[in-house]
Each structure stands twice: as C-alpha cells, then as structure tokens.
Amino acid sequence: MRSQRQEWFRNYARSMGESPLAFVGSARVPDDVIGTAARIRTAFGFDVNQRRQMPTWTDALRHFIEQADGLGILVMCNGVVHNNNHRHLDPREFRGFAMADDLAPLVFINGADTKAGQMFTLAHELAHIWLGQFAVSDSQPVLVPDQDMERWCNEVAAELLVPLELMRHEYNSAAALPDEANRLARRFKVSTLVILRRMLDVGGLTRQEFWDAYHAEVERLRAIPRGAGGNFYLTQAARVSKRFAAALVTSTLEGQTRYNDAFRMLGFSKLSTFQRIGAQPGGGAGMSYLLDSDVFIQVKNLHYGLDFCPAFWDWLIAANAKKLVFSTEKVGDEIQAGADELATWAAGRGDTFFLKPDSAILPALATVSSWATGQNYEPAAVSHVPASRRLLSRRSRTGSWAHGGNARGGCSFNQEDQDSQCLHWSRR
C-alpha cells in the first residue's frame, strides 16, 4: 500500500508539473558527516535554538515532520497494523524505512516508538533519502551497525539533531550524569539515549560508563507508561502523510481520483471520514478557496435563493471570516452590475470578501497565464474573465431558469454538508 501511495503521488506530482527534488541522491557515504548534516539542516531551515523553545518533544517532532513535508518528503507515521489499535508495530523489530524518489520521497516512522525515538528515526531516514537509497532501519543511536551506510546515516542523524560543537559547548561534565542527560535531552529535544551517545562522542564518558548508563536508561524508559492516541482524523492524516492526504483529497474533490480509490489509499470506507479529514488543517479541504461568479449566480438561481435559504449565504460570510472562502474584485464588480438582490448582498461584503489584486498578485498573473497556456486548455478558458462567461452569467440572472425555492419546494441546505457542497461548486 505504501508503494501504491508513493506511485500515486509521483504521478500526481508529475501531472502538476513539479520538478525533481535535487537533494534526493545528492550525498554519498564517504561524504563528510558534519558537512552533510549541515546541508540537510540548511534545506530544512532546521534551527536547533528554535527547537529549544518548543515546550515538548511532540511539538518538536510535529515541527520536524512539517519541515520535511514542506520540502516535498512524504512522512508517514503509524504504530498499528491497518488502523487496528490492538495490533501494534514493535519498535524493537523495526523503527522506520525510507523509499527514495526524486518526485515522491517517502519516509515511514514506527509511531509505537517514543517521540524522541521517532525524532531520531526521521533524521536517520532523511540521511537515506539524501543518499537516494531504499532502506529498512533499526536506527538506534547507540549502536554501531556493521554496514557502512547504516553507520554513516546514524552519524548524520546524530549530528543533525545534536551538532558536536554545540554539544561540546553545552555539556557540563561536572554535573550528575542523570541530571545532565535529562537537561540536554530537553535542550535538544532528543532522547536521553542520543545524549548519552553524544557524551561518548565528545569524550565525556568511557565506553564502559556509556554502556552502564545506556542499559540503566533503557530500563527506566521502558517503565514509563504510554499516552493515549488522540484525534483520529488528525492521526489518520499523519499516518498516510499530510502532504499525501492533502493532494489526494484535492484530486478527489476535483474529480481526478475516484472516491473508492481515495478511501482505499487513505485506509477507510466512509464519506464522512473523508470529509472530516479533508477539513483538518493540511487535509486538502482546509485550504482557502477562490469562488467564481457562477458559484454565486447559479446557486442563487438554482439552489439557494437569498430569501429562500439565507443559511447558505450566512455560512459564506462565516466561512470568509474563517479565511476559508474568498472571491475577487472583478467577480464582485460583475455581480454588482446585475442590480438585483445578489448585487446588494455582494456590495455589503467589501474587499475582505472580494479581494483586490495587490503588488504580490500582479506579477504572478503572467506566471499563471504562461502555465495555463501550456496545459492544452481551450483558448477561451485561459483568459481572466471571458466575454462568453460574462454573457452566460448575466443571462442566468434574467433568463428562464427557475428560482431555487420555487423549483425545489423547500430549502435543503444541510449544515453538515455545507463545506463539501461549497468546495464542489468552487471547483466546477
């Protein structure tokens, strides 16, 4: 299934015209560990001091995953088999794997591991992505694997999370070992096991002292109870990668992917679950949508007249306040030219709903136009507001189309369906 998801996303990225990711396969095992870690840190915008300010390891891990997602890496995190919370993946058997691809690099993290353990696994698997390799890993920071590649990835991960020079500066060898290990773990938002390994690396512990401390710390960590699972809809998006989920939800809403295929790849079978995941931040339907004139005009004439079903129009106002839906000044002008009840409604929305083009948008219009011209659309579809579209919109106001209330015999605007219906209309 994970390879199917990766293949789907690769095809999606290609259809969107995305360029290959230059960092995939850009490193080699003989490369300098410190230099490689520095390049990864730069690509991520990974700020060790910023992580220090994060209150918990969970916050630091979430931010780390979001940084990977922003760079184009699919990060999937799951601790159970097929959403079955009674079948856990054992971190002692494997902690993660990487599947390198220049359009859809994928990292899987065993979510049954501790947050600090997941942090090191992600760093380790990122090193594999930089190598352009597929690998299944038991990425324990204290071990020295037999394979050169695994050893190198461990070293890069440790350097990425806890830079050696910074460790030398921060480490207080006079402090009690347990207290200092815990302090530095909080400082760098890593596990105490990673800190113990770095203490060995800077010469603060002998090898025997290190192993004695390591075994004692493992026993202590195993005795700590695990927490609860959290929000399913947020967790499910993380299980399949928020980047993947957002792309799949968007593609499905646009009609490019069938719903049953989307359900299969997301790991559930209910439309309501799909809608709730889509509505989560980063889930695809949680993005902002720009509404065309026909969304307002056809809905007013065919579905939800302003006097017949005011709940829909109230929801549009509320959705705009939440920064979910907007339109443009040109659309507002077109609607107000109709001099009808819809024109009055639009006039009351102002430029917070019907946005004016600003200095950031105007230069982008040429880029968008060039992209649209290269997509083999009909010429009329490429222009900003085609004359035929303006004519169709005005004729729909005064033509023979029935008013929504008279045609349907009652307002059927359902509060549970409002988001998905608006998104459907906005994508026509």
The 10s digit of each residue's pLDDT in 89-119 is 666 666 788 889 999 999 988 877 888 888 8
Please check whether residue 193 lies inside any domain of the structure.
Answer: yes
- Are 223 and 114 in contact by the 8 Å Cβ rule? The answer is no
**Residue that is written with structure tokens 């512990």 in the block:** 205
Q: Is residue 239 part of a domain?
A: yes
Task: Name the nearest CA neighbour of 269 among 83, 423, 89.
Answer: 83
23 and 156 assigned to the same domain: yes
Q: Is residue 284 part of a domain?
A: no
What the block records as the tokens of 12 is 């999606």
Parent domain of 88: 2-222
- Cα separation values, 36 from 43, 223, 314, 409, Å: 11, 36, 54, 67
Q: Please indicate, yes or no, whether residues 215 and 267 belong to a single structural domain of this protein.
A: no
Q: Is residue 105 part of a domain?
A: yes
Q: Are residues 201 and 273 in the same domain?
A: no
Q: Which amino acid is at 215?
A: H
Q: Is 188 among the domain residues?
A: yes
Query: What is the C-alpha separation between 293 and 290, in angstroms, rounded?
Result: 10
Q: Which pLDDT score is estimated for 315? A: 81
Span 296-304, average pLDDT: 84
Average confidence score pLDDT of the chain: 76
- Give one word for 204, left, alpha or beta, with left for phi > 0 and alpha for psi -120 to 50: alpha
Q: Which of 247, 279, 311 is the last residue of a domain?
A: 279
Question: Max Cα separation, the chain?
Answer: 88
Closest residue by Cα to residue 8 from 83, 97, 106:
106
Total structural domains within the chain: 3
Residue 253: the pLDDT is 66
Contacts for 326 with CB less than 8 Å, ≥ 6 apart? 288, 289, 290, 291, 320, 353, 354, 355
**In this structure, are 257 and 296 located in the same domain?**
no
In a domain, 60, yes or no: yes
Same domain? 274 vs 301: no
Phi, psi of 427 (to 5 degrees): -105, 5
Tell me: do 124 and 207 sit in the same domain: yes
Pair (243, 213) in one structural domain: no
Each residue of 178-192: b (16+ CB within 10 Å) or e? eebbebbbebbbbbb
CA 221 to chain centre: 30
The answer to whether residues 254 and 141 belong to one domain is: no
Q: What is the 3-state secondary structure (H, E, C) of the chain?
A: CHHHHHHHHHHHHHHCCCCCCCCCCCCCCCCCHHHHHHHHHHHHCCCHHHHHCCCCHHHHHHHHHHHHHHHCCEEEEECEECCEEEEECCCCCCCEEEECCCCCCEEEEECCCCHHHHHHHHHHHHHHHHHCCCEEECCCCCCCCCCHHHHHHHHHHHHHHCCHHHHHHHCCCCCCHHHHHHHHHHHHCCCHHHHHHHHHHCCCCCHHHHHHHHHHHHHHHHCCCCCCCCCHHHHHHHHHCHHHHHHHHHHHHCCCCCHHHHHHHHCCCCHHHHHHHHHCCCCCCCCCEECCHHHHHHHHHHHCCCCCCHHHHHHHHHHHHCCCEEEEHHHHHHHHCCCCHHHHHHHCCHHHCEECCCCCCHHHHHHHHHHHHCCCCCHHHHCCCCHHHHHHHHHHHHCCCCCHHHHHCCCCCCHHHHHHHHHHHHCC
On the question of pLDDT at 129 being above 90, the answer is yes
**Residue 398 one-letter amino acid:** T
> Residue 28 to residues 32, 66, 72, 96, 129: CA-CA distances in angstroms?
9, 25, 21, 21, 11
Task: Say whether pLDDT at 146 is over 70.
Answer: no
> What pLDDT, on the 0 to 100 scale, is given for residue 218?
83
Confidence band for 81, pLDDT divided at 50, 70 and 90: low
**270 and 179, same structural domain?**
no
Q: Which two tokens stand for residue 360?
A: 């950031």
Shared-domain flag, residues 334 and 252: no
Express each pLDDT in 21-36 by its tens digit: 999 999 999 999 999 9
| 227 inside domain | no
Q: What pLDDT digit, counting tens, does each position of 192-239 carry?
A: 989 999 999 999 999 999 999 988 988 887 777 655 444 333 344 456
Q: What is the pLDDT of residue 419?
A: 44
The pLDDT tens digits of the residues spanning 381-402 come to 555 443 333 333 333 333 323 3
Task: Give bridge partners of residue 76 from the DSSP assignment.
Answer: 108
The arithmetic mean of pLDDT across residues 121-135, rounded, is 91
Q: Are the CB atoms for 36 and 130 separated by under 8 Å?
A: yes
14: nearest Cα among 247, 347, 214: 247
Residue 272 inside a domain? The answer is: yes
Cα three-residue angle 25-28-31, rounded to 5 degrees: 135
Judged against a pLDDT cut of 50, whether residue 79 lies above it is answered with yes
Mean pLDDT of 177-188: 93
pLDDT of the residue at 43? 92
pTM value > 0.75 = no
Higher pLDDT, 109 or 367: 109
The verdict on 406 and 257 lying in the same domain is: no
Tokens representing 65 are: 């995953």
User: Do 318 and 387 sit in the same domain of this protein?
Assistant: yes
